Amino acid sequence: MRRGALLPLALVAAAALHAESWTTTKRVCREARDAHNYHMYEECAIDIFTLDPVGPTAGNISTGSGFAGGLRYTHAFSANNFFTAKGLYSLNSSYLLNARYRLVFPPIRPIELKGPHGKPGPIDDTKANVDFNFTRFDLHTQDFYGLGPDSTLAGHAVYRQIQTQAGVNGYMPLPVLSSRYGIVGVLGELNYLQPITKGVSGSSLPSVDVRYGEAGAPASINRPDFLELGAGLSIRTPTTRPSLWEKHEAQITYQHYFDQGSSQYSFDRLEAWADMSATLLKKTGSNNFDQPWWKDAVCMPNAFRHCEIGTFTVGGRVTTSYSSSGSSVPFYLQPTLGGADFHGIDTLRGLVDYRLRAPNRLLLQVDFDKPIAPIGIKGHPLGQYGLYAFFDAGNVSFTPTELLDKGMRTDVGIGASMAIQNKVVVRAYIGFGAGEGSHPNVKAANAF
């Protein structure tokens, strides 16, 4: 384990031994061991993962970093004012340290939505927040295949990325612009970034700086620091949705990255994304509690005298970057297509992670999810199987105008999901059709 991660993790581990709920957890786990009951083991695991104020946590640090485990700490000064910290260390020697102090505020005035026929409607309970963040991560091995739409698998190289970052970000809902069709809010952020990229010791693949240099991978040799300023606008369906079948969310953000040394790597970024899902419902007129499983698979009955055929989700994402002549966007800050991106968001699922990279990116996705049947262990139902199919189309380019000039890369795929209490918690899928074979993946939550 790297020395940078050792001290904070050791401190958190020491604090964990004084966790308030440790005594109860020990008792539950001892009972589980004595009874050899797998449900009690599960309860023991739940108790361990919900230890308060210090307990374990797990997840991916970022795409390609490997599965990570660690500890988290929470101290609440009140419900609206609290501090959290966590440290994670992954199987491929990456780590993440993160601390956050969060202040939560009510909106300027309550977001009261209109009800039908002029009657009072619900109040959306979204609150404003200001977060003060400190993050340090060390991603031991990240993949790079060159820049632009014409890069190839043969150009595979690797780099190690270390970044220290501190800043503040916030969100404020805007009651005056919000309605039953969407909660509108503004976002802002100010961060200081100190990224470093290095070669990967012991790797059979060449390092990015050696293979590509500054010309093929900007900022792979130089090490600029950045002050980043951002602002944005977002809209999403209220927490109490007006529709049984439709749900949407969208966001547009503008960011400026100031290179704190020369202005060689300063640039602007405009990013927008939108997702809309529509659930196909059929009215049944009864509750169909005990129909055969194959009828469930065709149209899964629900509690409100409808059955669910499936859910279509359509999403789009565009990222454009702007830099003055003589300036360039650091390669590690350029958006990617292929597998999942740095933040774990699915992109072109028929390609490997990070396969395409450039300052500009366009991505369109369509998914169709269908609940199929319950699943269980030893007769105890735990979740619900689902099947899904997807289609992705996307492109990367060196200039924004080129995004639509060339034909887009496309793929298709199928996957399976597991839901617990009707919420999808795990997805496994295979994507193909993008001209580079097939790529299986299991989707887990990210630590960022």
Partner 1 sequence: MPAQIKHLFVLMLENRSFDHMLGFMKADDYNIEGIDPQNLFYNEDRNERKVYVSNDARPTGDLKADPNHHFDDVTQQLYGIANPPPGQKPDMSGFVRNYAVKAGNDAAGANIMKCFRPETLPVLCTLGRQYAVCDHWFSSIPGPTLPNRLYAHCGTSRGRLDMAPEYYQSFYTVYEELAQHNVSSCIFWTDWSATLSFSGLMAHQNQFYVDYGLFNAICAGDEKDVPAYCFIEPRYNPADAPTGGVLPATDQHPDNDIRDGETLIRNVYTAIRQNDDLWHSSMLVIVYDEHGGIADHVAPVPVDSPDGLSSLDPAFNFTLSGVRVPAIVVSPYIKPGTISKVVYDHTSIIATALKLFTNTWPTDALYTRAQKAATLDSLLDLTLAPRDDWPNFAASAHTAVIPQIQAAAARQAPLSDLQHETVKHAISLNATLPKGLQVRQPDGVHEQAGQAGAFVKAVGDAAIAAHQGIKQGIKQ
CA torsion through residues 370, 373, 378, 383, sign:
positive
The site string for partner 1 over 78-107 (x = CB under 8 A, - otherwise) reads: xxx---------------------x-x-x-
The site string for partner 1 over 227-256 (x = CB under 8 A, - otherwise) reads: -----x-xxxx-xxxxxx----xxx-----
The whole-angstrom separation of Cα 61 and Cα 89 is 8
In this complex, which beta carbon is closest to partner 1, that of residue 120 or of residue 326?
120
Minimum distance, C-beta of residue 240 to partner 1, in the bound complex (Å):
4
Whether cis (ω within 30° of 0) applies to the bond prior to 330 is no
* Contact status: 410 vs partner 1 (CB under 8 A): no
The whole-angstrom separation of Cα 194 and Cα 400 is 27
Q: With contact defined as beta carbons under 8 Å apart, do 194 and 165 qualify?
A: yes
* Contact status: 122 vs partner 1 (CB under 8 A): yes
Token look-up 């999810």 returns 369
Binding residue for partner 1 (CB under 8 A) from 72, 140, 211, 306?
Answer: 306
Phi, psi of 118 (to 5 degrees): 75, 5
Binding residue for partner 1 (CB under 8 A) from 33, 39, 282, 406?
Answer: 39
CA angle, corner 131, sides to 274 and 197, nearest 5? 75
Find the binding residues for partner 1 in span 184-223 (CB under 8 A): 185, 187
The site string for partner 1 over 129-148 (x = CB under 8 A, - otherwise) reads: x-------------------
Q: Which of 194, 197, 228 is nearest to 214 (CA)?
A: 197
| Span interacting with partner 1, options 3-11, 34-42, 191-199, 348-356, rule CB under 8 A | 34-42
CB neighbour class for 285 (10 Å; exposed up to 12, middle 13-18, buried from 19):
exposed
Binding residue for partner 1 (CB under 8 A) from 261, 381, 435, 440?
Answer: 381
In this complex, which beta carbon is closest to partner 1, that of residue 3 or of residue 109?
109
| Span interacting with partner 1, options 74-82, 156-164, 221-229, 257-265, rule CB under 8 A | 74-82
Q: State in Å, rounded, how far the first CA of the chain is from the last one.
A: 20
Binding residue for partner 1 (CB under 8 A) from 10, 210, 221, 382?
Answer: 382
